[in-house]
Amino acid sequence: MRVRGISLPKQKEIVLSEDSLLNGKVLLRQPKEGFRAAIDTVLLAAAVPAAAGQHILETGTGSAAAALCLAHRVDGVHIIGIDVNPRVISLAEANIKLNQMVEKIDVVLGDVADRLPPQFNAAFDHVLMNPPYLADTSTHVSPDPDRALATMEAGADLRRWLKYGHDALRHKGYLTLIHRADRLADVIRSLSANLGGVTVLPLWPREGEDAKRVIIQARKGVRTPARILPGLVIHESDSSYTEAASAVLKGAPLAF
């Protein structure tokens, strides 16, 4: 099987690990090898300012880890997750059932490289995403096909990911994404002109170190000036989590 030009062997057995997020509140089965949900996933979900009754789209949902974290934190939301990889859709469905979230989360096979489905057009209050970090010209491609598919822009570049999210949003809806800090300029350049109120939250590994990741949020149809926030320091000097990071990793929202 080939998806976006990347070969996905049919017979390769996926060996799963049993993990948890939000201090054990979310259970997660995910591949031991390949792309795995980690702290980026939790921070992304924590940054979405969702409220009860709202509709949310996650592009590139993977094992549904971010969707599960968000649904656990905010009651009364409905989340649709799409992913291009048919191998992870069944895994996401199993995780949703494991966490008893079938009434709050649906996952479907979908590709941001394709035309936005008519039922998705301007249908969501929030779109969240963790787009592939590597441009399609990168030579640092994982030998694992599932990880390569999740981390490399093959068939859909960053501009396409962001355009898909923009078109799915309702007026004044929020787009929230996490990306590499060294690609912040690419993200800003790729945002649709109708996305304003751009807010950047750096994620500092430790006090005094350069940010490796940033969370970026923008709103459709608003003209609020851009802001760069003080950011979140993840680790203390002894590698333990800071008090602020620990609170988010246990389920607190990440305030913008």
How far apart are alpha carbons 185 and 216 in whole angstroms?
11
pLDDT at 145: 52
**For the chain, domain boundaries:** 2-249
Asked if 199 and 184 touch (Cβ cutoff 8 Å), the reply is no
CA distances 36 to 62, 64, 150, 175, 245, Å, are: 9, 11, 10, 23, 20
In DSSP terms, 241 is beta-bridged to 235
Please give the backbone phi and psi of residue 79, each rounded to the nearest 5 degrees, phi first: -115, 135
Angle at 230 between CA 227 and CA 236, to 5 degrees: 155
How far apart are alpha carbons 7 and 12 in whole angstroms?
11
pLDDT at 36: 86
The two tokens of residue 75 are 């009651």
Asked if 197 and 218 touch (Cβ cutoff 8 Å), the reply is yes
The two tokens of residue 173 are 């809806």
For residue 210, the 8-state DSSP code is: P
How far apart are alpha carbons 17 and 186 in whole angstroms?
34
Asked if 100 and 71 touch (Cβ cutoff 8 Å), the reply is no
pLDDT at 10: 53
How far apart are alpha carbons 252 and 246 in whole angstroms?
9
How far apart are alpha carbons 190 and 101 in whole angstroms?
34
pLDDT at 35: 75
Question: Tokens 């396409």, residue?
Answer: 160
Q: What is the pLDDT along the chain (256 residues), one digit of tens a residue?
A: 444 554 444 546 778 999 999 999 999 999 887 778 889 999 999 999 999 999 999 999 999 999 999 999 999 999 999 999 998 999 999 999 999 999 999 999 999 999 999 999 999 999 999 999 655 554 444 444 544 444 544 678 999 999 999 999 999 999 999 999 999 999 999 999 999 999 999 999 999 999 999 999 999 999 999 999 999 999 999 999 999 999 999 999 998 8
pLDDT at 256: 84
Task: Extract the runs of DSSP E, i.e. beta strands, from 22-168.
Answer: 26-31, 55-59, 78-83, 105-109, 124-129
pLDDT at 124: 98
Name, in order, each residue with C-beta under 8 angstroms of 224's C-beta and a sequence gap of 6 or more: 196, 197
For residue 102, the 8-state DSSP code is: T
Q: How high does pLDDT run on average in the chain?
A: 90
Core vs surface per residue 13-39: b (16+ CB within 10 A) or e: eeeeeebebbeeebebebbeebbbbeb
Domain 2-249 has CATH 3.20.20.150: no
